[in-house]
Amino acid sequence: MESFVTSDGLKLKYAVDDFTDPWRKAQTLLLVHAAMGSSRRFYAWVPHLARDFRVVRIDLRGHGESEPHGPEDITFERLIQDIRELVDHLELDQVHIAGSSAGAYISQGFTSRHPERVATLGCFAAIAGMGTSNVDYAAWVARIGRDGLGRFLRDTIRDRVDLERAPAGFVDWFVTEAERTSIATLARFVPLMARQDLTQALAAIRCPVLAVAPGGDPLHSAEEYRSLERIIPNCEFVLLEGMPHNITDTVPDRCAQELLRFLKKHAKS
């Protein structure tokens, strides 16, 4: 993986997958993973996307192979600034950006604050911010601290993954990958994300937006997900019927194909 150093001195890692034609300048797609995730969780997306776009996958601070945040509180603005500094590091004027769950909220925040840097936005399993949800995220953090992240995920796996579709070995891999994120990071990251309500910011977004939502998510209703379609002026909404929360992991090929279709529709040649 490649790396860059943020303005507050943290080394963040990112991966680049580019199988576009070498004689043309490819547009860049930045993928932002969910909490308890990493860039590796987009492994199945790359074959669909990297032929047409230069795909960049970041490990958020405290996740994957990036360095952990310091002792001070993590702020939403700092997470957005990490994205902006990566885009600057890559010397790009503009990117396509897509995120999963908490990664989508960060992508929404980046798009609303830096609209000139975003060509299109993709939101997967995201409402208008976790602050609009009725989920008790404080109870999540307490339970993870008491039982451990692995136990928490295995006990709640049906909320996240369609076990009928999951291939053999996937759940063990999913949990092992998630456990790479420290509980100390999650104890700050989850409450931070739980406070975010981006409703007003989303209403100001003017670039094309794709919102793909799970129709069988026990965490959020289909109507909550449809809030993006109502709030954002130029939003295409896709509902995946019967799917649990982690659609980007349960049906990664379908999600990547939806994103590729959307990008080819809106990306300027």
pLDDT in tens, 80-118: 999 999 999 999 999 999 999 999 999 999 999 999 999
Handedness of CA 96, 10, 180, 105 (dihedral sign): negative
CA atoms within 13 A on the CB side of 163: 8
Q: What is the pLDDT of residue 103?
A: 96
Which residues is 98 bridged to in the sheet? Answer: 31, 122
The DSSP symbol for 191 reads: H
Q: What is the pLDDT of residue 140?
A: 86
Q: What is the value of pTM for the model shown?
A: 0.96
**Domain 2-266: which CATH number of 3.40.50.920, 1.10.8.60, 3.40.50.1820, 3.90.660.10:** 3.40.50.1820
The kind and range of the H/E element at 99 are strand 95-100
Where the chain has pLDDT below 50, the residues are none
The DSSP symbol for 74 reads: P
Under 8 Å CB-to-CB from 125, ≥6 apart: which residues?
34, 100, 101, 104, 212, 213, 214, 217, 225, 245, 246, 247, 248
Domain spans of the chain?
2-266
Q: What is the pLDDT of residue 156?
A: 92
Q: What is the pLDDT of residue 131?
A: 66
Q: What is the pLDDT of residue 129?
A: 78
Helix, strand, coil shares, percent, the chain, to 5? 45, 15, 40
